[in-house]
Homo-oligomer: A and B are copies of this chain.
Amino acid sequence: MSDLFWPGIERADGLFDDAALLAAMVAVEQAWLDALVDAGTAPTRVDLSGLLGPDDLPALARAAEAGGNPAQPVALALRERSGSAWVHRGLTSQDVVDTALALCLRDVADTIASEVAGQVSRLAELAGEHRSTLMAGRTLAQHAVPITFGSKVTGWLTGVLDAADRLGALALPAQLGGAAGTLSAVTELAGSAADATALVDATAARLDLVAVVPWHTSRGKVTAAGDALLSCTDAWGRIATDVVTLSRPELGEVSELAPGGSSTMPHKRNPVLSVLIRRAALAAPPLAATLHTAAALAGDERPDGPWHAEWAALRDLARRTVVAGSQATDLLAGLRVDGDRMRATARGAWSDLTAERVAIAAFSGTDVGTDNYLGTSDALIDAVLARAATYLQSAS
């Protein structure tokens, strides 16, 4: 799916797009049908695979408006093409859409987790390599005290590890509740509430999703997923913000491996990956806000609009986060660090960078030290590297 308005979107090809959602909806219908057959409720196994494909997307999408969601035309088409009236029997559209979103999100979560693990490795490597690379610490855009590039990188790493801690929220459970969350129809079909519950469990198991009570209007898991995606774009956005600043020619402390050119200025070396990551980080928070507003307005047994606002917001958040994650991986992999320039700037600004130290010495009546005034920098790097190692061990 090309998108001239979001350069780089191809990095999310195959993830959480129309084709993926369609495949996921078919997978949900198949799992449900198989569970019905296994339980002896539906008569014969029917293979739904291959009945709907990318070519059907335009017609399905067009047909989705009448009922307000894409599950209805999919169910109808599957019934017609399979000849089995058992397809979708006992489900409601929201079951199919929500569970399909869960499947789409799982692929996204796997992709992001893998990017994050790679970034943690790379950042740990950078932090170690530049543990002693002196540079000017900057606060409110002004020189503060000396740091090392390694300690700056551990700040980036801390942000990515914090995001990694939230990735567990990137999982939605199966949604199987029937018309109003009571599994009314399937209880009828299966013969008893216990049998209906067993069908839910079996279907979730087939899809490798967690089974919970229906959450048609309890959207906390959706917002948690959105928030977790944001925690990633936040972490990368902050790194990209630093890279853009540090790659200004007047600073020149880092640069991207393959900066972008200009359509008119041949000398240009734009920090394009960073720029595109910042774009994603700026566009993401409002999308997650939409998910929360939708959650707060999720009335009745199934909502009257808020739910419908979730799909595209979650899709855009998910796909763009995948793109930004992949770009962040590339950015870090190719980051050029000019340690000499860092050192030179720090040494050139030494009297400013050590003004605090002079003040402290004056205050405490001691001599101004002569080493690098790096405080606990080493210990902090060690602490974050240890956390990274623990994470990588558990992630592998």
From 193 to 231 in chain A, residues with beta carbon under 8 angstroms from any chain B beta carbon are 193-194, 196-197, 213-221, 223-224, 227, 230-231
Binds B, one of A109-117, A118-126, A332-340, A354-362: A354-362
Chain B's closest residue to A138 (CB) is B300
**Which of A4, A227, A262 is the most central at the interface, judged by chain B CB atoms within 10 Å of its CB?**
A4
Q: How large is the interface on A (under 10, 10 to 19, 20 to 34, 35 or more residues)?
A: 35 or more
Q: Say yes or no: is A162 at the interface (Cβ < 8 Å to chain B).
A: yes
A132 CB-CB contact with B under 8 Å: no
With a cutoff of 8 Å between Cβ atoms, the chain B residues found around residue A237 in the complex are: 295-297
Instruction: Answer yes or no: A34 CB below 8 A from chain B CBs.
Output: no
Partner of A179, one of B6, B218, B356: B356
> Would you call A93 and B296 a contact (CB within 8 A)?
no
B61 close to A4 (CB less than 8 A): yes
Given A7-B68, A219-B234, A267-B352: A380 and B214 interface contact (C-beta under 8 Å)? yes
Residue A50 at the chain B interface, CB threshold 8 Å: no
- Is A12 at the interface (CB under 8 A from chain B)? no
The reply to whether A182 and B375 contact each other, CB–CB distance below 8 Å, is yes
Contact status A7-B363, CB under 8 Å: no
**A107 lies within 8 A of chain B by Cβ:** no
Supply 4 further A-B pairs (C-beta < 8 A) apart from A137-B179, A142-B269, A281-B305: A140-B275, A147-B301, A266-B358, A282-B293
Smallest Cβ-Cβ distance to A18: which chain B residue:
B4
Enumerate chain B residues within 8 angstroms of A133, measured Cβ to Cβ: none
Q: How far is the CA of A131 from the CA of B185 in the complex (A)?
A: 19
Determine whether A374 belongs to the interface, using a CB cutoff of 8 Å to chain B. yes
Q: Is A271 an interface residue (CB 8 A)?
A: yes
Report yes or no: B283 in contact with A304, Cβ–Cβ below 8 A.
Answer: no
Given A197-B379, A278-B305, A286-B287, A238 and B296 contact (CB-CB distance below 8 Å) = yes
Q: Assess the B7–A263 pair: CB atoms within 8 A.
A: no
| B297–A241 CB distance below 8 A | yes
Checking B69, B234, B359 against A292 with a beta-carbon cut-off of 8 angstroms, the contacting residue is: B234
A selection of 18 A-B contacts at a CB cut-off of 8 Å is A4-B22, A4-B57, A5-B70, A5-B311, A9-B61, A72-B262, A137-B181, A139-B179, A139-B216, A142-B271, A147-B182, A154-B213, A185-B356, A241-B299, A264-B359, A278-B309, A282-B297, A288-B289
A357-378 contacts to B (CB < 8 Å): 357-361, 363-364, 366, 369, 373-378
Given the complex, which residues of B lie within 8 Å of A280, measured CB to CB? 309
User: Is A39's CB within 8 Å of the partner chain B?
Assistant: no
Bound CA–CA A385/B233 (angstroms): 37
Q: Does the CB pair B218–A158 fall under 8 Å?
A: yes
Min Cβ gap A33→B in Å is 14
Chain B residues with CB under 8 A of A213: 154, 158, 380, 383-384
Alpha-carbon distance between A66 and B260 when the two chains are bound, in angstroms: 6
